[in-house]
Amino acid sequence: MYLDNERRPTLTPQLAVRVAIIGGIALAAFAVMFFRLWFLQVLSSDAYVREAQGNQRRDIRVQAPRGDIVDREGRVLVENRVGLAVEVTPDKLSEDPAERRALYRRLGKLLNMRPRAIEREVNEQFKELPFSRATVKQDVSRDVVMYIEEREEDFRGVEVDPVFLRKYPHRALGAHLFGYVGEVNQEELKQPGFSEVKMGDRVGQAGLEAEYDQFLRGRSGETLVQVDALGNLRTRLAEHRPRQGRQLRLSLDLDVQRAGQEALEGGTGKGAFAVMNIRDGEVLGLGSEPSYDPNLFAKVFRQRDYDRLIDDETGAPLTNRAVAGGYPTGSTFKLITATAALESGLITPETPLNDPGELTVGDQVFENAGHVAHGVLSLRQALTVSSDVFFYQLGRDMNEKGMPLQHWARKLGLGHRTGIDLPEEGPGFVPGPKWRDSQFAKFQRCVKRTNPTPTEISLGECGWQDRPWSVGDNVNLAVGQGDLAANPLQMAVAYAAVATDRVIRPRLGQRIENSAGQAVQTLRAPTGRRLHLNPEYRQAILDGLRGAASEPGGTSTPVFETFPVEIAGKTGTAEKGGGRADQSWYVALAPWPDPQYVVAVTDEAGGFGADTAAPMARRILAELFNVDEQQLVEGGGPSD
């Protein structure tokens, strides 16, 4: 018996297409998988081997000690010291969060810190550098170290390591110059000069520490270690020792610096001074009072501590008044007024002007200090006795001659930075018609827009410049009053410029040295800008300054008549109004007749220049020229 097989359905064209599509997809998927495996195992094998090895190796950064800072004689001004830091080691720290919190509580009690603050700080450091130790507190006492070492079981994962900390052996002396260091922040890491710096590194944050950070910082070292899959340390593979930073030698003279700050401390405690070589711009002393102890920044420094250092109620000790202060200069400005009047052709050295004791401009009367009348004077005599009326007339007349007073003030170094190698320097300010008129226009627009009450206007709701420029403003500027803002270093540069016919750039840094004190790089300031002053005019001004310190009637003759080194100098008394005490100034050039140094000093509430600032300058000059204190005769002088 034969059985007929059932006829199977034939493969339809539609089914064939579907089978072909599915087969193509499967083939494509297989090809993708094949080529991906081939890429990973053949082409990229070396890269993945390196990455796998990298997962087993960790670089632990070791920061380098910073270079020392020394004065011109090699005396140490800033150095390093070894401190003890409490650190948390990640590979030894418990994985249990509860145990970690218990550890942080014990640490907080021991270190007088909040446990939450410790946990937050450790976690942030682990996030930045996962395999490095997290510093909890620097510069702990040996009692703390012994306590931790005696209770290792209670402080699992906690170690104490020596670290390099900055030391300022002279404490507040020169603090504004040296500055301080601190941990680098995110904004600084974006700057080109910090390309080799990592989070946790300490860099210069102010003063010379910041200005010369690239030399002082050195090069950090690295320790290459091998870890297992859990991140536990297995062995040290290599170690690159850190290289200490270069040494910075300054032009500063430690003895002159000390004499200057002691002189300031003997006054009202708020002021500044500058001592400079007028020929090359080397700064031998530059100080500000009140000062602060930069050693505070070597430890953990809280925001409230920083706020106290910038608070006006504490005298803002962090402010470097020598380069960032802005003060009216009183009669020390008369050197600039004399230069402008002579160079603009308004007068000659022999032009006589009458000083009846007062000058009326419009409805305002300007008087000499002490209401004295000096009679007919030429420039030399006017500088010697510091005749205000003589210079009032110059300021009045120069108001109509294209403002040469402002032009020469800026040309001699006021109203802009001197270029000293300190990052905190301020530009100061020289007032003029353009500035005041623009401010007055803003005031008028504000009043028209807001319609303030008289009380609001008096409070300065629309600004303080409620009138345009007037001739009286120029009269005030001629004697260093009004809206003028300058600092001692700018005045030192201006006096040096008249004495040498060059505007020089002050400089503290002398050279970069290796650890043996050998010069690696000399730091030279650019050549001074030539002024091309008329030699006859320069000599007339210097003669007037010499008379002010030596001739009968000279404003500082009683202070310097017995001083063994002949000088030329000018007193200044700046009225600040508002019931505030007058500001005392003195600027000296020494020795006469061929000066080498300029000394500028100011006391914010010292009163007459001859009473406070001139004796301060004398104290500095005594140290500068190695004069025995017993040779100095105490004495005051008339006002200027």
3-state SS of 244-294 is: CCCEEEECCCHHHHHHHHHHHHCCCCCEEEEEEECCCCEEEEEEEECCCCH
Hey, what long-range contacts does 313-320 have (CB within 8 A, 24 or more apart)? Answer: 314/290, 315/269, 315/270, 315/290, 316/290, 317/290, 317/291, 317/292, 318/292, 319/288, 320/176, 320/177, 320/207, 320/272, 320/288, 320/422, 320/424
In sequence order, the 6+-apart residues with CB closer than 8 A to the CB of 137 are 85, 86, 111, 113, 300
- Three-state DSSP class for residue 167: strand
**Residue 46, pLDDT score:** 62
Nearest one of 328, 286, 339 to 486, comparing CA atoms? 328
CATH numbers and ranges of domains, the chain: 51-83+169-250 (3.90.1310.10), 254-307+318-432+469-631 (3.40.710.10)
Distance CA 503, CA 533 (A): 11
For the chain, the first-to-last Cα distance in angstroms comes to 147
**Residue 613, pLDDT score:** 98
Structure tokens at 322: 């020598």
65 close to 243: Cβ distance less than 8 angstroms: no
**Residue 190, pLDDT score:** 81
Distance CA 547, CA 383 (A): 8
**Residue 3, pLDDT score:** 47
**What are the angstrom distances between the C-alpha of 480 and each of 181, 297, 371, 388, 583?**
38, 38, 18, 10, 11
**Residue 2, pLDDT score:** 47
| Other CB atoms within 10 A of residue 532 CB | 8
Structure tokens at 166: 């900055």
Nearest one of 574, 599, 583 to 482, comparing CA atoms? 574
Strands (E), 8-124: 57-62, 69-70, 76-88
Q: What is the total residue count of the chain?
A: 640
In sequence order, the 6+-apart residues with CB closer than 8 A to the CB of 537 are 339, 342, 343, 349
428 close to 490: Cβ distance less than 8 angstroms: yes
Average pLDDT over the chain, rounded to whole? 87
Phi, psi of 75 (to 5 degrees): -75, 135
> pTM for the full model?
0.84
Helix (H) or strand (E) holding 340: helix 334-343
Structure tokens at 503: 């505007």
Structure tokens at 363: 């409805």
Distance CA 397, CA 409 (A): 16
Structure tokens at 126: 């682990």
Determine how β-strand 69-70 pairs with β-strand 247-250. Answer: parallel
Distance CA 621, CA 514 (A): 33
Burial (CB < 10 A; 0-12, 13-18, 19+), residue 105, is middle
Distance CA 355, CA 357 (A): 5
Residue listed under structure tokens 């730091």: 523
Q: DSSP character for 94?
A: -
Distance CA 350, CA 537 (A): 10
In the chain, % helix, strand, coil (3-state, to 5) comes to 40, 20, 40
389 close to 374: Cβ distance less than 8 angstroms: yes
Helices vs. strands in the chain: H and E counts, helices first: 23, 23
Nearest one of 464, 412, 461 to 436, comparing CA atoms? 464
Q: DSSP character for 10?
A: P
Phi, psi of 239 (to 5 degrees): -145, 125
- Alpha helices per DSSP H over 344-386: 379-385
Phi, psi of 3 (to 5 degrees): -105, 130
In sequence order, the 6+-apart residues with CB closer than 8 A to the CB of 501 are 530, 531, 532, 533, 535, 538
Given a cut of 70, the residues of the chain with pLDDT beneath it are 1-11, 38-61, 128-132, 221-240, 299-301, 456-457, 459, 629-640
Q: DSSP character for 39?
A: I
In sequence order, the 6+-apart residues with CB closer than 8 A to the CB of 548 are 383, 384, 385, 386, 554, 555, 556, 557, 568, 569, 570, 571
Which residues lie across from 58 on neighbouring strands?
A: 225
**Residue 449, pLDDT score:** 86
Burial (CB < 10 A; 0-12, 13-18, 19+), residue 35, is exposed
Distance CA 101, CA 122 (A): 12
Q: Within 13 A of 137's CA, how many CA atoms are on the CB side?
A: 20
Structure tokens at 633: 């005769």
